[in-house]
Amino acid sequence: MNYCNILTPPVTRPEKKKKEVCTMTTLTWQRTVYSDGCRDYPAVYVRWDDVTAYLGCPHEGDPDQDARLIRGLLESGAPDWVQDAPGWIDEHGWGLYRAGRQSLPYQVLEDNAGGLHLAVFDGDGDECIWYASGLEHLPGTDVQEMLQALRDGADPVQDGWEADLPEGYTPQQLYDELTSYEYGWEIIADDAGVYPERMGAAGRMVFGFDD
């Protein structure tokens, strides 16, 4: 037998698969505050792990990567101001802040009659510049939207929020009138947090703790 005429079947080698880059379809981000040492500004922040997961690679300072992150923020429900906001980075992540619109301090107060009041202060927290009562009559979602707007840099005076003040009263006078008593009122939420343990029935209903 002439072995030279025997055909050797070709060896089939598995094809090398291309390495696929896996990216997230939703960008994970959080609301926070950016401080320049004098003022606090509304901000959004993305941790580096989430940046890498969304982009599919580490952030290298490329403007195109920044643009992708901004689109991801908008698609994930971030406020519109992120489109042209300045940013910063640190060892933990990447962020944008709303320049020129600091977060104004506020308090939600509940009196012993079940009334809910919202007081908004100037940037230094020294003067009440806007005051509203009767929040207990609003849907809880409306109250939450008002507070979120404040955290996002809303200014009720500049933005023209309505406030039915009694004739002859200023916001500061109404705030002082309520808080001048030692008892009969509680701060149940402010720009630093929410305090369920201080709430009465009205506050718990508005903030969703009535279960």
Alpha helices in 126-183 (DSSP H): 140-151, 171-179
> Residues 115, 202: one domain?
yes
Q: How far apart are alpha carbons 132 and 169 in whole angstroms? A: 12
**DSSP reduced 3-state for 87:** strand
> Residues 89, 115: one domain?
no
* Each residue's pLDDT tens digit, 86-140: 999 999 999 999 887 778 999 999 999 999 999 999 988 889 999 999 999 999 9
> Which residue, of 77, 97, 117, is where some domain finishes?
97
* Each residue's pLDDT tens digit, 128-177: 999 999 999 999 999 999 999 998 889 999 899 988 899 999 999 999 99
Asked, for residue 19, whether it belongs to a domain, the answer is: no
The pLDDT value recorded for residue 211 is 65
> Whole domain around residue 73: which residue ranges?
30-97
Model-wide pTM > 0.75: no
* Tally of domains within the chain: 2
> Residues 177, 122: one domain?
yes
> Residues 111, 192: one domain?
yes
> Which residue, of 72, 97, 122, is where some domain finishes?
97
Which comes out higher in pLDDT, residue 47 or 11?
A: 47
> Residues 113, 173: one domain?
yes
Asked, for residue 142, whether it belongs to a domain, the answer is: yes
Asked, for residue 7, whether it belongs to a domain, the answer is: no
> Residues 40, 110: one domain?
no
Instruction: Tell me which DSSP letter residue 8 carries.
Output: P
Asked, for residue 11, whether it belongs to a domain, the answer is: no
Which comes out higher in pLDDT, residue 164 or 64?
A: 64
Q: How far apart are alpha carbons 44 and 54 in whole angstroms? A: 16
